[in-house]
Amino acid sequence: MDYFFVLLFSGLAVLFILGGIILSYLIAPHRPNRIKNTPYECGEIPLGSAWIQFNVGYYLFALLFLIFDVEAAFLYPWAVILRVVGFPGLLEVGIFLLVLILGLIYARKKGALEWV
Partner 1 sequence: MIERAMITILFYGFAAAAILLALAVTTSRNLLRAAVCLMGVLLIQAAFYLLLSADFLAGVQVLVYVGGIVVVIAFVVTLTRSSQLLMDHPSPLRMSLAFAASAGFAVVSIASLWVSALHQPGMSHSKVDSTKAIGMALLDTGKTGYVLPFEVVSVLLLAAVIGGIVIARKTPPPSQPFTTGGDKPGEADVTLPKSQRISKDGRDSR
DSSP-H helix ranges across 1-116: 4-27, 34-37, 57-80, 82-109
46 binds partner 1 (CB under 8 A): no
**Cα of 60 vs its chain's centroid, Å:** 15
12 binds partner 1 (CB under 8 A): no
39 binds partner 1 (CB under 8 A): no
Asked if residue 93 lies in contact with residue 75, where contact means CB atoms within 8 angstroms, the answer is: yes
How many residues bind to partner 1 according to rule CB under 8 A?
53
CA-wise closest residue to 56 among 100, 103, 112: 112
- Report 58-97 residues binding partner 1 (CB under 8 A): 58-60, 62-67, 69-74, 76-81, 84-85, 88-89, 92-93, 95-97
44 binds partner 1 (CB under 8 A): no
Please state the closest distance from residue 27 (CB atom) to partner 1, in A: 26
Please state the closest distance from residue 25 (CB atom) to partner 1, in A: 19
Please state the closest distance from residue 35 (CB atom) to partner 1, in A: 23
Residue 74 makes CB contacts below 8 A (sequence gap 6+) with 96
Q: Name the CA dihedral angle for 37, 42, 44, 45, rounded to a multiple of 10 degrees.
A: -20
* Region binding partner 1 by CB under 8 A among candidate stretches 23-31, 34-42, 49-57: 49-57
